[in-house]
């Protein structure tokens, strides 16, 4: 039996990273091969129960060493693991795992990563050293590829594919309607979704969005806030709602849902204002037109990849500008859906290459 070890930002109740793990595990299980899947997680018990895999505590040094020593293929990804915008500490953790796997002579696969920005020179140096010996590197967007090339990497096994989440499918409509019933939310064909997070460089974001929500209600629309990373997004979204004038037409999803469940929710919306990267991915898979709220290069890269025409920079926009983008998307819904479907199907095909490369590495 071949053993693979998955490392990422797993076990933190972050919808995007949980979706990545779900997609990766499902893709491996679809192969019907004799493969043992193990995961490094902050919450090993929950990870084992949710994904039906074996899991170890990612912060237990000796457990981590043992897992790496006993695996056949070490997989780092997906997500934005290799960057120092969040923190250098996080970057060093993932680089340490890669260096350790190489030390034990294990095959290393950097799987559908979004790499960069990495601003500090020493961090760039370490990242280059770690990636140089990887068996293969797949990247989820062209910006990451360009960044890796700027590092001066000599590794030739690098390819742009796509985020693993593009291979997931939503729950059924009946299951979706049950979620709305349980939440006590009435959904209609004029409901606009918003997925937002706190961003310290945009301190007045929720105030601006509250005024946008009030205007949308005056235009005859309902608004549904969909938090992704609980409890932070939940608290931020609730604060946003409390700033609004008309609470009757502005609701929020209150529970934690899987990627497939969130895709089901998205299928019932008319349009979404999406800030978190995986809210954009879920919307594209659900063929839900998007207005992008850009706060990070990874969001910019996805918007470019999907050729989304309506977007704003959350650090520098006026409410009137965002409302004009929303109106433009609403006026061109049919065209936006066609464009989104075409681009998403192309990306889905690229996403399938991730697992094909993993199998080739295992068979070497």
Q: What's the pLDDT tens digit per position in 167-205?
A: 999 999 999 999 999 999 999 999 999 999 999 999 999
pLDDT at 219: 97
Q: Cβ neighbours of residue 47 under 8 Å, at least 6 residues apart?
A: 10, 11, 21, 39, 41, 53, 55
d(CA 114, CA 96): 18
Residue ranges, CATH 3.40.50.2000, the chain: 2-160, 173-346
Strand partners, 313: 294
d(CA 62, CA 65): 5
pLDDT at 33: 84
Q: Looking at the domain 2-160, which fold is it?
A: Rossmann fold (3.40.50)
Other residues' Cβ atoms within 10 Å of the Cβ of residue 133: 12
Q: What's the CATH code, domain 173-346?
A: 3.40.50.2000
Mean pLDDT of the 79-88 span: 90
User: What is the rounded (10 degree) CA torsion for 11, 13, 19, 20?
Assistant: -40
User: What is the rounded (10 degree) CA torsion for 61, 67, 73, 78?
Assistant: -50
pLDDT at 282: 97
Q: Tell me the pLDDT tens digit for each residue of 284-304.
A: 999 999 999 999 989 999 999
Strand partners, 73: 4, 107
Mean pLDDT of the 70-99 span: 94
Q: Cβ neighbours of residue 196 under 8 Å, at least 6 residues apart?
A: 205, 206, 209, 225, 233, 236, 237, 240, 273, 275, 276, 293
Model confidence at 32: pLDDT above 80: no
d(CA 353, CA 311): 29
Q: Tell me the pLDDT tens digit for each residue of 307-364.
A: 999 999 999 999 999 999 999 999 999 999 999 999 999 999 999 999 999 999 998 8
d(CA 117, CA 84): 7
Q: Which of these, 233, 229, 293, 286, lies nearest to 257 by C-alpha position?
A: 229
Residue 133 binned pLDDT confidence (cut-offs 50, 70, 90): confident
């Amino acid at each position: 039996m071949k053993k693979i070890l998955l490392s990422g930002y797993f076990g933190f109740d972050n919808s995007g990273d949980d979706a990545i793990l779900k997609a990766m595990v499902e893709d491996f299980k679809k192969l019907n091969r004799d493969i043992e899947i193990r995961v490094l997680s902050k919450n090993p018990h929950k990870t084992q129960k949710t994904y039906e895999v074996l899991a170890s505590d990612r912060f237990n040094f000796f457990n981590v060493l043992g897992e790496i020593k006993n695996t056949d293929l070490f997989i780092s990804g997906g997500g934005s693991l290799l960057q120092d915008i969040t923190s250098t500490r996080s970057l060093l953790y993932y680089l340490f795992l890669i260096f350790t796997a190489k030390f034990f002579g294990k095959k290393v696969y950097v799987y559908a990563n979004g790499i960069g920005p990495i601003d500090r020179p020493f961090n760039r140096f370490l990242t280059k050293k770690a990636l140089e010996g990887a068996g293969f590197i797949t990247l989820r967007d062209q910006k990451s590829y360009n960044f890796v090339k700027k590092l001066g990497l000599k590794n030739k096994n690098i390819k742009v594919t796509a985020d693993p989440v593009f291979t997931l499918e939503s729950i059924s409509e009946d299951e979706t309607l049950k979620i709305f019933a349980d939440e006590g939310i009435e959904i209609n064909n004029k409901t606009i979704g918003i997925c937002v997070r706190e961003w310290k460089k945009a301190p007045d974001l929720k105030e601006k969005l509250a005024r946008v929500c009030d205007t949308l209600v005056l235009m005859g629309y309902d608004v549904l806030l969909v938090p992704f990373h609980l409890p932070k997004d939940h608290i931020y979204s609730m604060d946003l709602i409390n700033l609004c004038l008309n609470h009757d037409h502005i609701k929020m999803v209150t529970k934690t849902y899987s990627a497939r469940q969130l895709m089901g929710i998205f299928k019932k919306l008319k349009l979404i204002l999406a800030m978190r990267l995986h809210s954009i991915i879920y919307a594209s898979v659900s063929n839900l037109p998007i207005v992008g709220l850009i706060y990070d290069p990874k969001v910019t890269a996805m918007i470019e990849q999907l050729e989304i025409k309506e977007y704003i920079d959350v650090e520098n926009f006026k409410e009137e500008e965002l409302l004009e983008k929303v109106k433009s998307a609403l006026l061109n819904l049919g065209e936006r859906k066609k464009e989104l479907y075409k681009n998403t199907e192309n990306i889905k095909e690229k996403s399938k290459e991730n697992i094909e490369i993993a199998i080739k590495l295992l068979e070497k």
